Amino acid sequence: MERPGSFTAPYRPGPDGQLRPYLLLTLIGFKQEIMISGLVDTGADRSVLPIDYAEELGYTVDDLAPVEVGQVEGSASAWMAQKPCGAIVDGIPEIEFEIAPLFVASLNALWGRADLMMTFTVSVSEKMQELTLQLD
Amino acid sequence: MAVQDQDSFRRAQAELEPKEDLAPYMGKWVALRNGKVVASDLSAKGLRSQPEVRPTDAIVPVPRSRPGYFIA
């Protein structure tokens, strides 16, 4: 039975064809809105985006601060947005929240805990291959 | 919230789903129109500058993937 304010979608295939909990968000940047598909990652402290999206969203060099981030393969350089952009989950336009992404030199987008998961309770069912967002 | 919200959520979440295999484009950015690749480039900026890419096309990175398990 569906709970009020609960949204469930099936896992979707990545570029390698494997099904995973990808989630489509629209980020409301300073020069345009962009739809971005990212992997829901409860292990990521913050949301992470490929660096090319920084310019796409309208961030300038002055809006980014260099930081070191830890990851499974060791540490890496990243750039932290100093101001947030808006975000909505596609299909749930009523709820807008803010994301101040970490930009990295990789092509993977990850939705982390500091923004998406402060707005929705996120759960995955590996058994059902489903992702659920619950409004608190 | 009503049941149709759940339906629209599922439909919206499928919007960027590619209708072709993106494996040949791993490591690049692709422009998708109606789920089909219309152009590719090593950078989003380079892709946007290509004449066949329209402002309404979705600009999507295609991460490299190695055989085996993926960990973020």
- For residue range B3-61, what is the model confidence (pLDDT) as tens digits? 557 888 999 998 888 889 898 999 999 999 998 999 999 999 999 999 999 988 999 99
Report the residue from A35, A39, A71 with minimal CB separation from B58. A35
Query: What's residue A93's pLDDT?
Result: 92
- Binary contact (B27, A44; C-beta < 8 A): no
- Whether A1 is covered by a domain: the verdict is no
Rg (CA), chain B: 15
**Number of compact structural domains in chain A:** 1
CATH code of the domain covering residue A129: 2.40.70.10
**Cβ-based contacts of B60 with chain A (< 8 Å):** 37
pLDDT at A1: 53
pLDDT tens for residues A55-95? 999 999 999 999 987 766 667 789 999 999 999 999 999 99
pLDDT of residue A18: 85
Give this prediction's pTM. 0.88
From CA A25, how far away is CA A87, in angstroms rounded?
7
Q: CA-to-CA distance for B48 and B56, rounded, in angstroms?
A: 11
Return d(Cα B46, Cα B29) in angstroms, integer: 9
Return residues 8-47 of A near B (CB < 8 Å).
8-10, 12-18, 20, 23-24, 34-35, 37, 39, 41, 43-44
The 10s digit of each residue's pLDDT in A14-59 is: 877 889 999 999 999 998 999 999 999 998 899 999 999 999 999 9
pLDDT beyond 60 at A133: yes
Asked, for residue A16, whether it belongs to a domain, the answer is no
Flag whether A125 is in a domain.
yes
Q: What CA–CA distance (Å, rounded) separates A111 from A90?
A: 14
Domain positions in chain B are 3-62
Query: Which residues, at least 6 apart from A73, have a Cβ–Cβ distance to it below 8 Å?
Result: none
pLDDT at A136: 74
Q: What is the mean pLDDT of residues A110-136?
A: 94
Q: Is A117 inside any structural domain?
A: yes
Q: Is A40 part of any domain? A: yes
What's the confidence (pLDDT) of residue A77?
86
Q: Say which residues have a Cβ less than 8 Å from residue A115's Cβ, sequence separation at least 6.
A: A46, A47, A84, A87, A97, A98, A99, A100
**Residue of B1, B20, B71 best to disrupt the A interface, most CBs of A under 10 A:** B1
pLDDT band (50, 70, 90) for residue B67: low
Q: Tokens standing for B40?
A: 């590719």
Range of the domain at A90: 6-10+23-135
Residues in chain B: 72
ipTM of the predicted structure?
0.83
